[in-house]
Amino acid sequence: MKFNVEVKISLKNGMLNPESSTIERALDLLGYKVENTDTVQIITFQIEEDNEDRVQEEVKDMCERLLCNPVIHDYKIAISK
């Protein structure tokens, strides 16, 4: 069975995010007033597996071993059929 997977990766609270700071400054220069911008990386893919629990386990392993750095990143996994 094929499952659709979406992983959202963001920096943990308190981590410096120079990309977000740059975006906020640029938007301010363009006349837009925004606060608390956050950059999120979204990775989507399909995986073939027997059940959703197994998909959850595999994707969590992927995140912690390759897709993000668990020391500085948070991630959220969404799975659908």
Q: What is the CATH number of domain 2-80?
A: 3.30.1280.10
Query: What pTM did the predictor assign?
Result: 0.85
Which DSSP letter does residue 64 get? Answer: I
What pLDDT digit, counting tens, does each position of 9-61 carry? 999 998 989 999 999 999 999 999 998 888 999 999 999 999 999 999 999 99
DSSP 8-state secondary structure symbol assigned to residue 36: S
Q: What's the pLDDT at 37?
A: 85
Residues forming beta bridges with residue 68, ordered by sequence position:
none
Instruction: Quote the pLDDT of residue 73.
Output: 96
pLDDT in the model for residue 38:
87
What is the residue extent of each domain of the chain? Answer: 2-80
